[in-house]
Amino acid sequence: MNVPVLLVEDTPSLQVVYKSILQNAGYTVVCAGNAREGLTAFRENNPDVVLLDLMLPDRPGQDLMTEFLHQRPTTRVIVITANGSINRAVDAMRAGAYEFLLKPFTEQRLLHAVETARAERVEPASTPPHPAGFLGSSPTMKKVYSRIASVGKSMATVFITGESGTGKEICAQAVHEASNRARGPFVPLNCGAIPADLLESEVFGHLKGSFTGALSDKPGAAAVADGGTLFLDEICEMDLNLQTKLLRFLQTSTIQPVGASQPRKVNVRIICATNRDPLAEVRARRFREDLYYRLHVVPIHLPPLRDRGGDVIDIAEGALTRMAAEENQSFTRLSNEVKTLFCQLPWPGNVRQLLNVLRHAVVLFDGPEVTLDMLPVELLHERDTVVTSTVTSGLATSGLLGKSLAEIEQMVIEETIAHAGGSVPRAARILDVAPSTIYRKRGQWNRPES
């Protein structure tokens, strides 16, 4: 602990208290009372951990933090702010702060934040690690991996957004595994799958006899997750009354089971997720604004599969190998036609839909290669819809005004054949006509038949 911790705090009494706590724990502490002194001390001592009050008399604390990080990007800055200034803490986290402390905080909370920050004073890897459960190396996913690696060691609340099927629980599990709580429990709870009248009991627990059907004491998810991570999936589905209790829990780190007379302390990190737009839910008054700002500290957005480029092939091939082994089948690869199709589809169900498609093929057929005729019929219809939409869009931009009906018909048929890979029968299915009709019309245009 030879490298000092830099404390930038303008209130003398608090400076004395924080310094005393840290020194008693064995840390060397350098203090500064304003931004000017803080910058000088930073340059002279090169600290790896900084405790920074956001309200300084001569300069905003966040501006000073930006300068610290510009000079030494690996510095762990723990920002300190008043309880009523949570928005400043959220902005600071987004700007690169490692952690935040809301006044008043306990001695244990201060020491835990510094210990965690000190334990992670390592140079960032040039290539972010591949978290367990994820496949793919597209640029959008590399950003996700980097965010998971950077927030894992923090105690900050993580808010995961993304469409259904993009892997939000896998992301939450990866954050937990990257944290100092990895040996503790990871407790997932789907807020949308539990009736509103039972959700409070599921989160906070209940005592025997506290309501009809409470035949024994039951610990809630928050108590089970003590020392680990509580993952609240579909958080925007939570009842407004329970949102108030969740906010109190986040502010006090205490829970009170249904029927209990006294609260109890728990040490839990919160990760939450939703497939909705949380700000739209706030504007619609279905989600508390203060809870949103308390939870939305470090956001992670998972992109839909259609925006991940070639990742769809990596995921499909990895899943195919695993499923073939599970079902004792001989599949080893996807056909080139299937690969092309997979890269073209919009995948509204994302990774979950892709896995279902592969499971369908592996269960009903055998390999070694997955071909188009093994895929579900509805997937081919989805392909045809995409092709029709693309053709229509292309023709709309080409300009149809001034052309005869016969010319327009020829353009539609030829564009559809092109998007169907030159296959007249496939184009005929898309246009809902007989292949002979297309062959006849193309013959009338004096063009060779396919």
- Per-residue pLDDT, 402: 64
Judge whether 449 lies within some domain.
no
Lowest mean pLDDT among 120-134, 310-324, 338-352: 120-134
Judge whether 127 lies within some domain.
no
Task: Report the C-alpha gap between 279 and 292 in whole angstroms.
Answer: 8
- Per-residue pLDDT, 243: 92
Judge whether 278 lies within some domain.
yes
* pLDDT tier at 406, thresholds 50, 70, 90: confident
pLDDT exceeds 70 at position 382: no
Q: Which positions ≥6 away from 400 have C-beta within 8 Å?
A: 408, 411
Please give the residue that has the higher pLDDT: either 450 or 313. 313
pLDDT exceeds 70 at position 392: no
Which of 51, 85, 119 is the last residue in one of the domains? 119
Cβ(272)–Cβ(232) below 8 Å: yes
Do both 265 and 295 map to the same domain? yes
- Per-residue pLDDT, 286: 93
Q: What is the CATH number of the domain that holds 429?
A: 1.10.8.60
- Per-residue pLDDT, 393: 56
* Residues spanned by the domain of 88: 5-119
Q: Which tens digits make up the pLDDT trace of 241-270?
A: 899 989 889 888 899 898 888 888 999 999
The residue to which tokens 């080409």 are assigned: 398
- Per-residue pLDDT, 149: 87
pLDDT exceeds 60 at position 43: yes
Cβ(228)–Cβ(269) below 8 Å: yes
Judge whether 129 lies within some domain.
no
Do both 345 and 373 map to the same domain? yes
Do both 324 and 426 map to the same domain? yes
Q: What is the DSSP string of 138-187?
A: -HHHHHHHHHHHHHTTS---EEEE--TTS-HHHHHHHHHHTSTTTTS-EE
- Per-residue pLDDT, 13: 92
Helix (H) / strand (E) containing 30: strand 29-32
Cβ(358)–Cβ(316) below 8 Å: yes
Do both 235 and 329 map to the same domain? no
**Could you tell me the two tokens for 186?**
């990871």
β pairing state of 218-219 and 205-206: antiparallel
> Quick one: CA torsion of 226, 184, 170, 231, rounded to 10 degrees?
0
* pLDDT tier at 384, thresholds 50, 70, 90: low
Judge whether 450 lies within some domain.
no
Judge whether 126 lies within some domain.
no
- Per-residue pLDDT, 125: 47
Q: What value does the mean pLDDT take over residues 16-29?
A: 92
Do both 210 and 245 map to the same domain? yes
- Per-residue pLDDT, 124: 47
Write the CA distances from 295 to 151, 264, 299, 354, integer angstroms.
14, 21, 9, 31
Q: Which tens digits make up the pLDDT trace of 186-208?
A: 999 999 888 878 888 999 998 98
The residue ranges of DSSP E strands in 194-316, in sequence order, are 205-206, 218-219, 229-233, 254-255, 264-265, 269-274, 298-301
Do both 272 and 404 map to the same domain? no
Please give the residue that has the higher pLDDT: either 195 or 35. 35
- Per-residue pLDDT, 123: 44
Do both 333 and 436 map to the same domain? yes
pLDDT exceeds 60 at position 448: no
Q: What is the DSSP string of 184-229?
A: S-EEEEETTSS-HHHHHHHHHEE-TTSSTT--S-EE-HHHHTTTSE
Q: What value does the mean pLDDT take over residues 32-49?
A: 93
Do both 297 and 172 map to the same domain? yes
Q: What value does the mean pLDDT take over residues 99-128?
A: 72
Do both 32 and 98 map to the same domain? yes
Q: What is the CATH number of the domain that holds 172?
A: 3.40.50.300
Count the domains in the chain.
3
Q: What value does the mean pLDDT take over residues 227-247?
A: 93
pLDDT exceeds 90 at position 379: no
Q: What is the CATH number of the domain that holds 114?
A: 3.40.50.2300
Do both 166 and 272 map to the same domain? yes
pLDDT exceeds 50 at position 122: no
Please give the residue that has the higher pLDDT: either 309 or 171. 171
- Per-residue pLDDT, 50: 95
Judge whether 136 lies within some domain.
no
Which of 301, 329, 348 is the last residue in one of the domains? 301
Q: Which tens digits make up the pLDDT trace of 67-102?
A: 998 888 889 999 998 755 677 777 787 778 888 888
Percent of the chain with pLDDT over 70: 90
- Per-residue pLDDT, 350: 95
Mean pLDDT (the chain) is: 85
Helix (H) / strand (E) containing 130: none
Judge whether 183 lies within some domain.
yes
Do both 110 and 164 map to the same domain? no
Do both 253 and 219 map to the same domain? yes
Which of 256, 284, 301 is the last residue in one of the domains? 301
